[in-house]
Amino acid sequence: MRTREHRFNIQLLAERIVHAKRGKQQEATSNLRAGYFGSSTRGAAALVAAVDAPQDVGAVIRGGAP
């Protein structure tokens, strides 16, 4: 309840996706492209995050059924 104002903050959600991708790279998987999935607001955030580094993203799935 204290953070519900962030629920629809697409830019904040996109930044979290980008930071998670950058912070979790392992040597064995560093050459693989990411796939982002999200529905509703998180789907919009996945699209925005993919624009940040399109060379690192292999797919964006927006919706409830991949």
Q: List all residues 6 or more positions away from 48 whose beta carbon is below 8 Å from its beta carbon.
A: 10, 11, 13, 14
Q: Where are the domains of the chain?
A: 4-24+33-62
Q: Please write the tens of the pLDDT for every residue from 12-65.
A: 888 888 877 765 667 777 778 888 888 888 888 888 889 888 888 899 888 765
Residues 48 and 14: beta-carbon distance below 8 Å:
yes
Q: How far apart are CA 37 and CA 43, in angstroms?
A: 6
Angle subtended at Cα 36 by Cα 64 and Cα 44, rounded to the nearest 5 degrees: 65
pTM given for the model: 0.66
